[in-house]
Amino acid sequence: MKNSLLKTDEIGVFALGGLGEVGKNLYVLEISNQIFLLDCGIMFPDAHLLGIDYVLPDFTYLEENKERIVGLFITHGHEDHIGGIPYLLRKVNIPKIYASGFAVSLIKAKLGEFTDIKMPKIENYESHSKYYFKDVEVSFVRLNHSIPDMHGIAFKTPLGYIFHTGDFKIDLTPVGPGAEYHKLTKMGEEGMLLVLSDSTNAERDETIQSERAIGESINDLFYNIKGRIIIATFASNIYRMQQIIDASILSNRQVAVIGRSMENAIEIGLQSGYIKAPKDIFVKPEDINRIPPERLTILSTGSQGEPLAALSRIAAGSHRFIKAIPGDTVIFSSSPIPGNQEPINRTINALFRIGADVITHGPLADTHTSGHGNQFDLKLLLSLTKPKFFIPVHGEHRMLKFHRDLAISVGVDPQNILIMDNGDVAAVSKDKIRLAGRVQADDVYVDGTGIGDISNNIIRERKMLSDDGMFAVIITVDNQNRKIIGDPTIISRGFIYMKGNEALTDALANDTKEFVTNVFNNKNLISESEFKTKLSDYLTDKIYDITQRKPMIIPVIRNFNTTDL
């Protein structure tokens, strides 16, 4: 069915993820009653999403309009752009996935982990590829990022070009192939209707270094370090892993790969040709202790301080094969994802306690560079493409607003720029862009094997439990004689330690007994749920008066019969 928010001559543009956040990118174009999907990623939870493994986009709108979906187009292979694909395929049949090079290998490997999903058709596009649909020509522009085969995606429509940049930066000395800036200029000359552009670094005006410069810096570090090197980076940063292997070869070191995601990435890289290394350079983790420290590089996961990642276990002394020792040098070849600085600091402090030296990116050593363009890069892209309309995407709200100001500074009409949230639908015609309404675009939580069964109420309950714990009171009642039997049993978890707080628990038990007695003495009938609610409210007030804390109250009633009250 046609989107009722759009007029006949309008193109619909909206996001189910990626606006007001960094992650779970999923953008939707509706052109001539066809739905084109751009990327389908996940977002990793921050500290307040207790127990959550991943956050997914809400696929409800796509389920309701699945017959109009013509394809899923992937810009590159990072998790925040492809991690949601298996979950999407469980809900919706996608006619074909369009991806390029390394992203194809990563998608196939990811889908291979989900035995309940039939492998879809995957079209491996090149930068010169073109695909034709009703009133739409889809083409691609090679750009530079921190992973191979990153492409912006262009949709040539009767109204002009719509261009989605994906993640990019301007890198004049890239490790891989150079960007196709001439295509951007050509589209601008032919008529760029709308650009959707990466806003991650819209606040940064400092120079973003080239990936090649980081490789040279890593070579210098390896040459000057005499002991064992443990280096952590993102498992998806194939360019960085190649640079680490090259530096190890130059410094006459063998490489041990630690961490499942890193091992998988290396294997995919070697099989697909994106990583080139002699076979004898790799050493198995169990053989690490046979290699002299000055001849060994350990390539590890855990650059973000993840508790179960290899580097965190090394720092904690719990890794099966590796013990950090004085004289080790640990290099963080990554930048902290917002919210991860605290666990990273914990890992760094633990390594220093052991006696290892730790090097992070900073004024003294260039160990990492961003894959996202700075203000100059963003303005240059807008200057080359000359869009009539502009929607900043892929960023938190402040980043989107900074990007809007950059667009205005290079001549985009402020009236032609929309700052949107997930679910907001932009309607684009030849001469106008407007907010047409909203579609459903909530967060969907993955918790173990459960998908979407965790609500915001449960997250709030988990937060309450983590802050003030749980207080349970178990009551046995005689329904016939309307009286409480014995004393209530008190159980506390994460609230107070029972041993040593007998006076408090006894007082609360007596208060509970008094409350129940008053209920039985009252002739008014109440239901079980109302009884529990009143008891919870009563104990909440009592506990707060004494402790200034509000644990979760769980009343348990044995032999309770609501008809007898």
| Phi, psi for residue 362 in degrees, rounded to 5 | 180, -165
Q: Which of 114, 108, 112, 91 is nearest to 37 (CA)?
A: 91
From CA 441, how far away is CA 264, in angstroms rounded?
Answer: 32
**Residues 433 and 193 sit within 8 Å (Cβ to Cβ):** no
Pairing of strands 229-232, 424-428: unpaired
Q: How would you write 302-318 as a 3-class SS string?
A: CCCCCCCCHHHHHHHCC
From CA 387, how far away is CA 416, in angstroms rounded?
Answer: 9
Between CA 55 and CA 156, with CA 96 as vertex, the angle to 5 degrees is 95
- Tokens found for residue 251: 């410094």
Beta strands in 394-458 (DSSP E): 424-428, 433-438, 444-447, 450-451
Q: Which of 96, 35, 28 is nearest to 57 (CA)?
A: 28
229-232, strands of its sheet edge to edge:
254-258, 296-300, 229-232, 329-332, 357-360
Give the active site residues.
Answer: 198, 372
Pairing of strands 296-300, 11-17: unpaired
Residue with tokens 């109420």: 457
From CA 22, how far away is CA 55, in angstroms rounded?
Answer: 11
Q: Which of 138, 133, 144, 128 is nearest to 38 (CA)?
A: 138
Q: Which of 173, 185, 112 is nearest to 144 (CA)?
A: 173
**Residues 351 and 343 sit within 8 Å (Cβ to Cβ):** no
How many helices (H) does the chain have, and how many strands (E)? Answer: 15, 25
Q: Which of 167, 314, 306, 176 is nearest to 243 (CA)?
A: 176
Q: Which of 271, 264, 266, 169 is nearest to 213 (CA)?
A: 169
Helix (H, G, I), strand (E, B) or coil at 106: helix
From CA 423, how far away is CA 236, in angstroms rounded?
Answer: 29
**Residues 62 and 40 sit within 8 Å (Cβ to Cβ):** no
